[in-house]
Chains A and B, each alone.
Chain A
Amino acid sequence: MDWHANLRTVAALTRRAANELLRVPGAAIPGVLAPTIFFLGLFAVFGNLTLLPGFTSSSYQSFLIPISLLQGAGFTGAATGVNLARDIEEGWFDRLLLSPAPRPVLLAGLVLSASLRSLIPAAVLLTVGFALGVHWPGLDGLVIALLIVMGMGTIAACWGATIALRFRSQSGAPLMQAGMLLLILTTTSYAPLALLTGWLQTVARYNPVTQIVEAARQGFVGSVTWGDTWPGLLALAGLLALLSALALRGMRRTAI
């Protein structure tokens, strides 16, 4: 297949995922509702943590919003994995594998749709957040945050696809969601690194997603700098390379 045909395949698979949203509008609700409820709930419950000496922001909602954006992307990506598992169970995926489309192209179609879909919860969360007084991050801060959201959606979709291809059943869904939740929350999600306690402080220091969170947090808290941006983009690229390699390995090992 030439690259033209490959692009058309990717576009068709992305369109198919978008069709699901148009035909089953409720399909996007869990990915939007869960991070929004978590954002509102955590803000209401832990909002006074900003009173602790050493907290880097006086606005907990601004501190929290990047986490919720990444959670939204994580849930959306995991949902892509669940959809793939459903396609495997129903035999639709086997038919795709019989087509002359290369495996990486099939994966690209899946993850591209997740990347675009992750902008839906982001739009809702930002609307809710700004209504609740989240600081305007500036155009540069917003663009960086949205790029990171799309990247995280892609990473989550790769993870979801890896699990779906391994278990070939929707019963792997909790692992898809728990994996992303663990990756995102074991960072500076609730408080700055200096205020975390015990094991979480150590894990957050070495978890590459902490760099991604800090990059997405720029503008919402503090100003946007290249020094805070590149480590996040590097961590994003590294995770993307690792998880897409795992997903591709799963695709290549899938026999019909």
Chain B
Amino acid sequence: MATNLRVIAALGARSVKQTFRRPQLMAPIVVFPTLLLAIQVGGAGRGVDLPGFPPVDGFLDFILAGAMIQSTLLAGNSGGIALAVDIEMGFTDRLLAAPISRFAIVLGRLAGTAALGALAAIWFIAIGLVFGARIDEGVPGALMMIVFVVLSAIAFGGLGAAVALRTGRASVVQGLFPLVFVILFLSSAFFPANLMLEPAATVARYNPLSFIVEGIREPVISSLSLEAFAKALASIALVGVISIGLSAMALRRRLRTGG
């Protein structure tokens, strides 16, 4: 157990360092979501005047959670790309030959993605506060947001890891990048579902990502309700169970077939 934890910590630290050293991996996690956040606040900020928009102090309060979840999804994708690169370069094979738990290898990567999720959450809370956002629930609300983002990073990171383990090709995982935006646009990450156009509005109402985003958003724009908390947690658990399950299956298949 202690050995496995050390392996997970070491691989997680390696994963974080790898992301900071490669601009290709870092840019989607911080640069693009920050740019989009700034542009969407300035470009669609008047949307808060539309009838039916939830009461908020400003559009930044509303969309901050969307930027965080976008960063989390992209961190999961970047983690998957990095894992696939490790497979392509033979690093994963060397790890598999080592006397360590096979699943610790995947968990190490997910630990790195979780750490990046935490850093992204802190970054977005900081720039939100600097540019005038107000977290209604205060420090406990901010901590709750970070916890939700970290759990989401593990859940969505599992999907990237599953594809990386199944295909072993970075280009395939990279191909998921546009899909991230499809999922985001079909959720209430950037605008309230009731003000979106059909059929996207209906999809957004039932998209688990909307429940996760609303769980992160609630502490900012109002007090966190038990219902929003439970829905967010259940959605993260659903995605997590599916993604970790798929990762385990892909890892077993890779071990069985050798590729």
Chain A residues in the interface with B (C-beta under 8 A) = 30, 33-34, 37-38, 40-49, 51-52, 170-175, 178, 181-182, 185-186, 189-191, 195-201, 203
Segment at the interface with A among B102-110, B141-149, B188-196, B238-246: B188-196
Contact A200 B24 (CB under 8 A): no
Number of interface residues of B (CB under 8 A): 36
Contact B42 A196 (CB under 8 A): yes
Q: What are the residues of chain A within 8 A of B181 when measuring CB–CB? A: 34, 37-38, 41
Contact A37 B185 (CB under 8 A): yes
Chain B residues in the interface with A (C-beta under 8 A) = 22-24, 26-28, 31-32, 35-36, 38-47, 49-50, 59, 178, 181-182, 184-186, 190-191, 195-197, 200-201
Q: What are the residues of chain A within 8 A of B47 when measuring CB–CB? A: 46, 48-49, 52
Contact A189 B39 (CB under 8 A): yes
Q: How far is the CA of A174 from the CA of B27 in the complex (A)?
A: 6
Contact A47 B49 (CB under 8 A): no
Q: How far is the CA of A178 from the CA of B39 in the complex (A)?
A: 13
For residue B32, give the distance in angstroms from its CB to the closest CB of chain A: 7
Contact B35 A196 (CB under 8 A): no
Which applies to chain B's interface (DSSP): helix, strand, loop or mixed? helix
For residue B66, give the distance in angstroms from its CB to the closest CB of chain A: 10
Taking a contact as CB atoms closer than 8 A, the residue among A37, A173, A182 that contacts B35 in the complex is A182
Shortest Cβ distance from B26 into A: residue: A174
Contact B184 A41 (CB under 8 A): yes
Contact A43 B24 (CB under 8 A): no
20 contacts between A and B (CB under 8 A): A33-B178, A37-B178, A40-B185, A41-B200, A44-B185, A44-B196, A44-B201, A45-B190, A46-B191, A49-B44, A52-B49, A52-B50, A171-B22, A174-B26, A178-B32, A182-B35, A190-B43, A191-B46, A197-B46, A199-B38
Contact A48 B23 (CB under 8 A): no
For residue A59, give the distance in angstroms from its CB to the closest CB of chain B: 12
Most chain B beta-carbon neighbours within 10 Å: one of A45, A199, A203: A45
Most chain A beta-carbon neighbours within 10 Å: one of B43, B178, B191: B43
For residue A204, give the distance in angstroms from its CB to the closest CB of chain B: 8
Q: Given that A34-B178, A178-B32, A197-B41 are known contacts, is A42 also in contact with B23, CB under 8 Å in the complex?
A: no
For residue A172, give the distance in angstroms from its CB to the closest CB of chain B: 8
Q: What are the residues of chain B within 8 A of A203 when measuring CB–CB? A: 42
Q: How far is the CA of A21 from the CA of B74 in the complex (A)?
A: 27
